[in-house]
Amino acid sequence: MKILNSISQLQDQISFCPLCQKKNRRVSIQSNSVETKIVHCREKDNKIAMRVHADRESKSKAIAYDLDIHSIDFDFIYSNKPDACAPNLDFLLLGNCLEGHANAAGIFSLNTGNKKVENIFYNKETLRILDTYRISALYYNDMLLVSSLNDSKVRSFPLMDLDFTRPDKIVTKIKTLLLFS
Ligand SMILES: [Zn+2]
């Protein structure tokens, strides 16, 4: 489990492609709840200005947030009475490598009760290794899923350290794992 302390740390992980060895993933933010919709999101000067539409018990509320990605504190303005709003608003941070190598996902919650950013987790990343294998590192349960790109069968292993600067070595390691699985 990769637990992080700020949205900034999560952004660093999500944007970094281990195969490119640089921040080459485009990061986007999505609501992780059907009751909450992001109607506007803009990042500037380490702040995320986000307007959220939260729908709870058929009462709709528009809420403006001003998140500092380095802080766990945030402020918000309700356009309406807050009583019908969900106490926690859940979001997904997604990263897609511009070279098509990999994608990654993390989550965080905004607790509107104590005005803290909570539950910041780097959940998983999926990588294509030398156009041969697809691996998914599931950080939420420390598993590694492996499949061949021309075979849909997925095998699971305990999460292990892999040297992404040497994809050829990863292919060799995967072949050995599959041989003895
Ligand atoms: Zn990449």
Cβ-proximal residues to 11 (8 Å cutoff; 6+ apart), any chain: 27, 69, 93
State the distance from the centre of ligand 1 to the C-alpha of 128, rounded, in angstroms. Answer: 9
179 is written with which tokens? 């041989």
Tell me, in angstroms, the distance from the centre of ligand 1 to residue 168's CA.
Answer: 15
Q: Near ion ligand 1, which residues have CB within 5 Å?
A: 17, 19-20, 24, 97, 99, 101
Kindly give the distance from the C-alpha atom of residue 89 to the centroid of ligand 1, in angstroms, as a whole number.
30
Whole-number Å distance, alpha carbon 85 to ligand 1 midpoint, is: 39
pLDDT, position 123: 96
Global pTM value: 0.86
Is pLDDT above 80 for 177? yes
Per residue in 91-137, pLDDT tens?
Answer: 999 999 999 998 999 999 988 888 899 999 999 999 999 999 999 99
| C-alpha 99 to ligand 1 mean position (Å) | 5
Q: 84: closest CA among 64, 63, 67?
A: 63
Instruction: Give residue 146 CA to ligand 1 midpoint distance, Å.
Output: 18
Centroid of ligand 1 to alpha carbon of 41 (angstroms): 25
Give the largest Cα separation in the chain, rounded: 61
Q: 71-97 burial string, b = 16+ CB within 10 Å, else e?
A: ebebebeeeeeeeebbeebbbbbebbb
pLDDT digit string, tens, across residues 8-25 = 999 999 999 999 999 999
CA of 68 to the centre of ligand 1 (A): 27
| pLDDT tens readout for residues 36-86 | 888 888 888 778 888 888 776 666 677 778 888 888 888 777 666 555 556
